[in-house]
Amino acid sequence: MPPNAEETCRRLIASAERLFAERGVDGVSLREINANAGQRNTSALQYHFGDRAGLLRAVLARHQPGIEEHRHRLLDACRPGSLRDLAAALVRPEAAKLADGRDYLRIVEQLVQRGQPAADPGHSVNRWRSMVASRLSPEAIRLHQRFMAIRVTYVELARRASAPPARSEELFTSHLIDVVTAVLAAEVSEETAALMSARDAGSR
C-alpha cells in the first residue's frame, strides 16, 4: 500500500517540532528528522516541504492560527489606555500553548532571540506593536521597549516550557503579564535619556 501523504507530513512535522525544540532549529539535520519520523525514503522531507525553512513554516503553522485568533480577540477587547490589557493580549495566547505546544514555545523563543520571528503584515503581533506604540513615549519607542516586552515573554515561556508541566499555569501567566506590563510602563530615566542623546550626537 502506498504511504499516506497526509500521515507522512504529520509525522515529519511532529518529528521536526520535537527535535528543533530539543537541539535547536539549526542543530539537527534534515536526514535525522526524516529518519526519526520513520521515513525510509530519504527524500520524503524535501518532497513535502522543500527545505528546512519550509519545514519550519509547517511546524509554526500547526499552532499559529489559534494564537492569531485568540490575540486579535483580546486586542479587540482592550480597554483604552490599559497597558495590562495589551500585555495580556501578547502573553495569554502564547501561554495557552503550555497546555499543548511546549516544543513550539521553545522554537519560537529561538527565532525571537535571533531577531527573526515568523511574521507577515497581517500578523497579530504587528497589530499589537501598533497599539502599544500609541501608549509609549518617543524615547521608549527608540529604546525598543516593545521588542523587549516580546523577548521577555518568549524567554520566560520557553523557560517554563522546558520545565515539567505544572498543575496550573494561571499564576505564572498572570505574573508574566505583570512583568510585561512593567516593561511597557517603565519610564525612561534622565540618565538613560542623556546617554541616548550622547549616542545619537556621536553617530552624526
Residue with C-alpha cell 546617554?
A: 195
Work out the burial of residue 12: count CB atoms within 10 Å of its CB; fewer than 13 is exposed, 13-18 middle, 19 or more buried: buried
Is there a contact between 157 and 94 (Cβ–Cβ < 8 Å)? yes
How many C-beta atoms lie closer than 10 Å to residue 194's C-beta?
Answer: 10
182 and 84 part of one domain: yes
CA quadruple 169, 172, 174, 178: dihedral, nearest 10: -160
DSSP three-state, residue 100 = coil
170 and 111 part of one domain: yes
pLDDT at position 120: 52
Is there a contact between 65 and 163 (Cβ–Cβ < 8 Å)? no
Which residue segment(s) compose the domain that 128 sits in? 64-202
Tens of each residue's pLDDT in the chain, 204 residues: 346 888 889 999 999 999 999 999 999 998 899 889 888 776 788 888 999 999 999 999 999 999 999 999 999 999 999 999 999 999 999 999 999 999 999 999 999 998 865 545 458 999 999 999 999 999 999 999 999 999 999 999 999 999 999 999 999 999 999 999 999 999 999 999 999 989 888 876
User: Which of 61, 76, 93 is a domain's end point?
Assistant: 61
120 and 75 part of one domain: yes
pLDDT at position 19: 96
pLDDT at position 61: 93
48 and 25 part of one domain: yes
Q: How far apart are CA 186 and CA 132, in angstroms?
A: 13
Instruction: List the CATH number of the domain containing 43.
Output: 1.10.10.60
Q: What pTM does this model have?
A: 0.90
User: Which of 13, 40, 61 is a domain's end point?
Assistant: 61
User: Which of 44, 61, 78 is a domain's end point?
Assistant: 61
